[in-house]
Structure 1
Amino acid sequence: MRLKICHNTRYDYREPVPYGLQQIRLRPVSSSTQTVHDWSVRIEGGREEVMFHDQHLNLVDLISVDPDAHFVSITCEGEVETRDTAGVVGPHNGPAPLWYFQRQTRLTRPGAGVAALLAPLANTGREPLDTLHALSQLIAGAMPYQTAGTHAATTVEESIATGYGVCQDHAQVFISVARELGFPARYVSGYLMMNDRIDQEASHAWAEAHIEGLGWVGFDVSNCIAPDERYVRIATGLDYREAAPVSGVVFGGGTESMIVSLQVQQ
């Protein structure tokens, strides 16, 4: 499937910004599941300082905010050809070893909530793939999708306690439990084309776990499916923070507001 994507994120500041730096992870790379035919990133209110690959091989733009800017606009657009591999991404590559992906972070650190999800899955004798599919279904049942109540800094224990979550929460809870089960696991940010619309509400997130003999395999808890040809992978990390589309610091500027516009279509 060939997908056309146009994604704009605009930050408006009540007062001029004297200084700011942002890391942008919004460039897809070609892989076993996708081929990038065309992609561009356009910045207004700032400029690109350098482009680099991070420790997860994500392609990152480091931009500086123009002195005294009142807004920053980031527009990404291009075309990506995707393939349905039943969620299988394949062998691990990159400088980070597999054991690195079993390390819990501040956002994924397990507690009583993770332990409760882990209990029915431990020592069941299931095949690894069946165990991880069961985990995805368990989380979806315990934490129905709901957009209010969590935010970018919400930990897995906090989201489990609320009893619901969004794709970010679902992915991080899956990652935390999978690591406790002994699987390397990582967070994936990207795009999902919903079949009933062109204008999407937001970018998407899901999880991947590494299974011996298969490699990395994706699990979209929020939609209870394996990622297919409607998905475009952008960045991966140990948690949301390492794969966030935009992150950084801005000094001054007063109140900040953000508007996101995203279109994904065949």
Structure 2
Amino acid sequence: MRVRVRHEVVHRLEPGMRTAIASIRITPRNHYGQYVHRWSLDVQPDCRLYPQEDAFGNLAHTFSVEAPGEEIILTAAGEVDTQDTSGIVRGTMERFPPSLFLRPTPLTELTQDIVAFADLVRAEAKDELGRLHALMNAINEAVEETERALEVPARAAAEVLEAKSGCPGGLTHLFTAAAHHLGIPARHVSGYVADEEGTGEAREWAEAHVPKIGWVAFDCGRSLCATEAYVRLAVGLDSLGVSVLKGLGLNARETVSACDARCPSKDRQGQSQRQQ
């Protein structure tokens, strides 16, 4: 599949701000099953983007704007060729051993309720892959997926389990925390998903490390492993670690479209908007 993506983020700034400085993670990398055919970034007001790699090997850019005015507009657009790998992720930039991704953060800390939830899954399968599929299905059945505003952080794992609801990032926190209790390295991923209607969305999901297989992508909200409709952007320990933009704004507006570029009937201005 060739996935065509357009992602626009508008941040309204504090009145009288003299300098706006930010870091963005909104550029995908090539790996097995994913090839970036073309990709562009644009920031208004016009400024210079400084490319770099973060600690996890994600492509990032920093910029600063003098006297930025009322708002800053970030636009990313491009096309990415993808293949269905049954959720298996290979050929990615790996700076650390899988064991690093057993490390908890404040958003993926274990509680007694999460431990009990994970222990129920442990008995459903004899190997790690089977337990991960069971965990994904259990979260999908127990927790309702909701949308979230761009600048509202995803809930911590414990809050998601208690509320029985959470955005994709929150569901991923719960999956990660439970996988850690099962002794399985797991991490957080951001990216895009093209859907059958041609609208698509920005989304977050998990990757877990399975012995003899490697990293496998799990989307708890959809209860499936990543398919050719998924475009992988960035990886980190939690939702904060893969956020698209850091350092700007009082409130924000986001517009995202992701569609199959080879299907003209689907190549329309499908949009997913979230506003705070």
TM-score of the two chains, using structure 1 as the length reference = 0.91
Q: Does 1:75 align with 2:71?
A: no
Mapped partners of 2:66, 2:72: distance in 1:
9
Distance 1:72 1:229 in 2: 32
Match of 2:254 in 1: 260
SS at match of 1:69: coil
- Unpaired segments ≥5 residues, structure 2: 261-276
**2:79 alignment partner AA:** E
What is the deviation of 1:148? Answer: 6.3
Q: How does 1:117-136 map to 2 (within 5 A)?
A: 117-122=117-122, 126-136=126-136
Structure 1: tracts of 5 or more residues without a match: 251-255
Q: Is 1:235 aligned to 2:229, yes or no?
A: no
Superposed, which structure 2 residues align to 1:28-43 within 5 Å? 28-43=28-43
Letter of the 1:111 counterpart: T
Matches within 5 A, 1:36-185: 36-45=36-45, 47-90=47-90, 93-122=93-122, 126-147=126-147, 151-152=152-153, 154-185=155-186
| Cα gap change, 1:226 to 1:125, in 2 (>3 Å) | closer
**1:14 positional shift:** 5.3
Q: CA RMSD in A?
A: 2.0
Query: Following TM superposition, by how much is the alpha carbon of 1:133 offset from its aligned partner in structure 2, in angstroms?
Result: 0.2
**Residues 136 and 124 of structure 1: CA distance in aligned 2, closer, same or farther (over 3 Å):** closer
Quote how far apart the aligned CAs of 1:19 are. Answer: 2.7
Secondary structure of the structure 1 residue equivalent to 2:146: coil
- Work out the percentage of aligned pairs sharing the same amino acid: 28
CA contact (8 A) 1:102 1:179 kept: yes
SS state at 2:22 partner:
strand
Partner of 1:253: none
1:136 positional shift: 0.3
- Report if aligned partners of 1:55, 1:96 keep a CA contact under 8 Å in 2: no
Paired residues, what number? Answer: 259
- 1:100-133 CA-to-partner distances (Å, cap 9, x unmatched) read 1110011111112311211212355512111000
Tell me how far 1:213 sits from its aligned partner: 0.6
The question of whether the paired residues in 2 share the 8 Å contact of 1:48 and 1:61 is answered with no
Q: Contact between 2:102 and 2:184, CA under 8 Å: does it hold in 1?
A: yes
3-state SS in 2 of match to 1:104: coil
List structure 1 runs of 4+ shifted beyond 6 angstroms. Answer: none
Name the counterpart of 1:190.
191
Q: 3-state DSSP class of the match of 1:107?
A: coil
